[in-house]
Amino acid sequence: MSDNSEASPSFLSTLPSQPITDDMVRQIGESDNPKIRGAMGFPGSTPGTIEAFLLNMEARTHVIVFDPSAERWRVYESFESEELSHDEMVDRASDLANEWLAESLSDRIAATENTDSDV
């Protein structure tokens, strides 16, 4: 997959170095930033935790994921969304998030086990 870090929304560096909650995703989507049209989280491997979310901006939608090995958020993939209906945009982002969730499952399980053993 392409890493679109050059197109990364600037606020990524302000996200915590851990998965976030539905509430935080909602706050991002409702922010006063005029470029942000909305955000929607995808359920992660832990209930109540968001490890991937879509960020709908003016002309592009970004699928943003938490990389447990680097302990940071990154753009998994971005796509043009101006010509898409809301449902088409959500479907495409959901497919990408599911693809990433499947690809990263072993990394995320390992990160969870490491966290559990640190307690």
Element (H, E) at 78: strand 72-80
Q: From the CB of residue 67, how many other CB atoms can be counted at a distance below 10 Å?
A: 17
DSSP 20: B
Instruction: Tell me what pLDDT residue 6 has.
Output: 41
Let me know: does 64 contact 73? Beta carbons within 8 Å: yes
Instruction: Tell me what pLDDT residue 68 has.
Output: 83
Instruction: Tell me what pLDDT residue 104 has.
Output: 85
Instruction: Tell me what pLDDT residue 44 has.
Output: 72
Cα gap 53→90, rounded to integer Å: 10
Instruction: Tell me what pLDDT residue 89 has.
Output: 96
Q: From the CB of residue 82, how many other CB atoms can be counted at a distance below 10 Å?
A: 9
| 15 CB burial (10 A radius; 0-12, 13-18, 19+) | middle
What stretches in the chain show pLDDT beneath 70? Answer: 1-8, 112, 114-119
Instruction: Tell me what pLDDT residue 114 has.
Output: 67
Segments making up each domain of the chain, as ranges: 5-118
Residue entry with tokens 């940071």: 72
Element (H, E) at 36: strand 36-43
Judge if pTM exceeds 0.75. Answer: yes
